[in-house]
Structure formats: C-alpha cells, structure tokens
Chain A
Amino acid sequence: MSAPIEPAVRIQREDFDLAHESAALCAGRTDIGALVTFTGLCRDEAGTLAALELEHYPGMADAEIRRIARQAVERWPLSGLRVIHRYGKVRPGDNIVAVLAASRHRQAAFDAAAFMMDFLKTRAPFWKKEHRSDGSEGGWVEARDIDDEATQRWREPSAADR
C-alpha cells in the first residue's frame, strides 16, 4: 500500500455541487474503481421547520474533521477523500455535509465514508438550532445516543477493513 493521501476538508457557508466535487476528485485518475459519496441534507419530518442554524467552532471544526480524515486515510487504502461541511442557515432540502471517498475497490470506500460520518457527527464541533415555520425558536437539536453507539463499531478493525 502506498503512503496515505492528503484528505481535502472544507468548512463553508456556501452550498456545494456533489457532481462537481465527484468530478474534481476523480479528474485525471484511472486507478479509482469505487467512488462512494454521502450527502447529509436538512430534513423536515413534521412540516414545521423553517430552517436550521448551524453554529460551528471556527478553526477547530476544520482541525477536528482533518484529524478524523487522517485516521480514515491511514486505515483504508483510499485514492481520494473529500469532506465539506456547511455552517450558517440552511433550509429543508438544502445540503449540509458531503463525504466523498474513492478507492480501487468498493469496500474501503464504503467503510471510509461511513467512518467519516460516524465520527464527524459526534466529534466535529457543530450545533444545530431549529427555527420553526411559525416564527418561534425550536431550540437546539439534541445529540442522540445512537450516534455515539455508531462510533463503537469502528473500535476493532475487522478483516473486511483491509
């Protein structure tokens, strides 16, 4: 296995275009056999959400996602890894986060993308506040135990990881 690649991480207010990011990640490469992309969207299950305000810790948000991404590229043989996380106000249907993981084979790309998201959700310093359609403040979204539990599955590397 060659040396781990350098992950690309961006924290931005602006939207992103997944097709553009995918093309940029694979440009000029003929050794990539699998590209897994994950997009996290702002969802409104009850029809009462006007927007989410995404607060972040500038500096640390970038640094922490890079720390997670470096673990991913050391653990799986990736040809490319790109993570984009937005901050500021997003509306239902808008993009929030993208993870793109490229590898020669699919399992490494699937696993690396899932690993990135599981740790990003519990360790990247972002917080969501709800704004309701009726103009009221919906309060801060609470962290879910299930997200903490999801990180546990990455503790012991399994045979499928290599």
Chain B
Amino acid sequence: MKLVYFAWVRERIGHAEEEVDLPDDVVTVAGLLSWLAGRGEEYETALKHASAIRVAINQEHVAHDARIEGAREIALFPPMTGG
C-alpha cells in the first residue's frame, strides 16, 4: 500500500511517500496511525497528536474509524490551510 505525507507530517517523517506492507490486524485508519507511530522516533513525533492528523483514502477525506481495506493510496496530513 502506498502512503503519502504532506506539510509538517512529511517533514517530521522525513520522506514524502513510501510503500508499506501492513499487518493483517491493521484494518482502520486509527489502527494504521498507531502502527506507524511504532515504526520509529520520527513517526512517533509526526503522529504524536494523532487526533490532529487528517487522512484521505484514494484522495477522499475519511474519518479515523474508516476501514482501509482496498485502499490504493492513503495520505496523512495536518489540518488544511488553503484559500
């Protein structure tokens, strides 16, 4: 599965995208966030305030309780500041 990161999430993790193989028991966005936070210090720092992280699956906004099965691309980013 492809993960993409933007803004300070990208800066803190240290790269813009990566391919990951998720364990079978990671089935929701919230599960993905906590699994990622355990992958190293930079992930832990980036995802420390998990409730602030916004998530899109296949380029559409989703809530943290959304299921991730079938996702091609999951994006993690801070609250948006466009306009």
A64 to B8 CA separation, bound complex (whole angstroms)? 21
Closest beta carbon of chain B to A74's beta carbon, Å: 18
A64 to B82 CA separation, bound complex (whole angstroms)? 12
A66 to B37 CA separation, bound complex (whole angstroms)? 33
A124 within 8 A of B: yes
Within 8 A of B (CB), among A119-141: 120-129, 140-141
Q: Is the CB of B8 within 8 A of A140?
A: yes
What secondary structure prevails in chain A residues at the interface with B? mixed
- Other than A125-B6, A127-B81, give 4 A-B pairs with Cβ distance below 8 A: A40-B83, A63-B59, A96-B83, A125-B80
Q: Is the CB of A57 within 8 A of B6?
A: yes
Given contacts A57-B56, A60-B56, A63-B59, contact A129 B80 (CB under 8 A): no
A142 to B60 CA separation, bound complex (whole angstroms)? 22
A5 within 8 A of B: no
A75 within 8 A of B: no
Residue in B7, B56, B60, B83 whose CB lies within 8 Å of A129? B7
Q: Is the CB of A125 within 8 A of B77?
A: yes
Q: Is the CB of A126 within 8 A of B82?
A: yes
A59 to B72 CA separation, bound complex (whole angstroms)? 14
Q: Is the CB of B82 within 8 A of A120?
A: yes
Interfacial residues, chain A to chain B (CB-CB below 8 A): 40, 54-57, 59-61, 63-64, 85, 96-97, 117, 120-129, 140-143
Max count, chain B CB within 10 A of own CB: residue among A59, A129, A141, A143:
A143
B48 within 8 A of A: no
19 A-B Cβ contacts within 8 A? Answer: A56-B82, A57-B59, A57-B77, A61-B82, A63-B59, A64-B60, A64-B61, A85-B82, A85-B83, A97-B83, A121-B80, A125-B75, A125-B80, A126-B81, A127-B7, A127-B80, A128-B81, A140-B78, A143-B81
Residue of B nearest to A38 (CB): B83
Residue of A nearest to B9 (CB): A127
Q: Is the CB of A117 within 8 A of B81?
A: no
B40 within 8 A of A: no
